[in-house]
Amino acid sequence: MVSGGGNRRAWTDLPDALRARVGEVLGSPVVAASTQPGGFSPGSADRVVTADGRRAFVKAVSASVNPHSQGVHRREAEVLALMPDGLPIARLLGAAEDGEWFALVLEDVPGQHPALPWRPDELEAALDAYAGLADRPVEGPMEGLLDPLGDDLPSGWSQVSPGDRLALPDDLLAWCSERLETLQRLEAEAVGLVAGDRLVHLDARADNLLLRADGSVAVVDWPWAVRGAAWFDPLVLLINVRLFDPAFDVDAVMVRHPAFAGMPAEAVPAVLAALSGFFVVMGSQPPPPGLPTLRAFQLEQAEVTLAWLQECWPG
């Protein structure tokens, strides 16, 4: 099971000038740092403490390692700067830059990632957090910044032609090949089904969640934010649940939890089709610079998503 890992840099690997600028953002120099594992960024991820005792979370990336990742960090800074108050997130404290390096300085949320396989109580808390994020419409400057989910829906079957060799086990490849036209139709239908005016994180996974001591959850890593259906993130999170426990009764969760209120029944196979296409197509590509494990993780997600799709296949 690939749990992440993008060749993390340690705090001490960052340029002195960048570390000094982080201290300027925080109003005091950093005197201690603890590197955080997990995730897929090729940069750093550190919980830091300043000389005056202030705590923060800092993640930095170099354009020379992966130029795309720096753009991702800059986008996250734009999104977080416009986030309304009262959301279960880590707040942006500022940003620091030194030549090819760019760092986000964020509120440090005391907590840890949910246990894997998922525990029912922690899943409940995570779904509560996503329901809280989608409690009100996206408005004002945030509405102008965020694209509609239908425009950015992860998908891929439309790019596949009969006979394409995809990085899937032979039995799954045959199943998908026999149903390619239906997969493409479902994927197209998903675009309309996910429309909405609510805040969507678009990357719901355990490693993007922090469980606080009081049992509440904070949602972190916001570069992909869009606006769409309130139930989209909760549905994506259940893929992560099944990834680590295929026998978990996600159907019962969807029936019971209010995060799925208003989700049409046809949305499940349509969205699973779209996401499986994204995971299959991306997972079949060469690894991007600095992210050696990403493709394997995408293929793991492809297989679990397709397994779920087979269970709820229309007709």
Listing DSSP states for the chain in one string gives: ---B---PBPGGGS-HHHHHHHHHHHTS-EEEEEE---BS-SSEEEEEEETTS-EEEEEEEETTT-HHHHHHHHHHHHHHHTPPTT-SBPPEEEEEEETTEEEEEE-----BPPPSSPPHHHHHHHHHHHHHHTSSB--HHHHHHSPBHHHH----GGG--TT---SS-HHHHHHHHHTHHHHHHHHHHHHHHT--SEEE-S---GGGEEE-TTS-EEE---TT-EEE-TTHHHHHHHHHHHHH-TT--HHHHHHH-GGGTT--TTHHHHHHHHHHHHHHHHHTSPPPTT-TTHHHHHHHHHHHHHHHHHHT---
Sorting pLDDT into bands at 50, 70 and 90, what band is 99?
Answer: confident
CATH of domain 120-311: 3.90.1200
Please report the pLDDT score of residue 69 as a whole number.
83
Write the burial class of residue 41 (CB in 10 Å: 0-12 exposed, 13-18 middle, 19+ buried).
Answer: buried
* Confidence category of residue 41, pLDDT binned at 50, 70, 90: low
Reported as type and span, the H/E element at residue 102 is: strand 101-106
Q: For 102-158, write each residue's pLDDT tens digit.
A: 999 999 999 999 999 999 999 999 999 999 999 999 999 999 999 999 999 999 999
Given a cut of 70, whether residue 5 has pLDDT beyond it is no
Instruction: Classify residue 61 by burial, with Cβ atoms within 10 Å: 0-12, 13-18, 19+.
Output: buried
pLDDT of residue 208: 96
Q: Is the pLDDT of residue 15 over 90?
A: yes
Residue 42's pLDDT band, with cuts at 50, 70 and 90, is confident
The rounded distance, in Å, linking the Cα atoms of 68 and 290 is 10
Pick the residue with more confidence: 57 or 43? 57
Mean pLDDT of the chain: 94
Task: Delimit the domains of the chain by residue range.
Answer: 11-106, 120-311
68: pLDDT strictly greater than 90: no
What is the average per-residue pLDDT within 44-55? 97
pTM comes to 0.94
Residue 244 in contact with residue 1, Cβ under 8 Å? yes
Q: pLDDT band at 38, cuts 50/70/90? A: low
With a cut of 80, say whether residue 2 has pLDDT above it: no
CATH of 11-106, one of 3.40.1350.10, 3.30.200.20, 1.10.3720.10, 2.60.120.10: 3.30.200.20
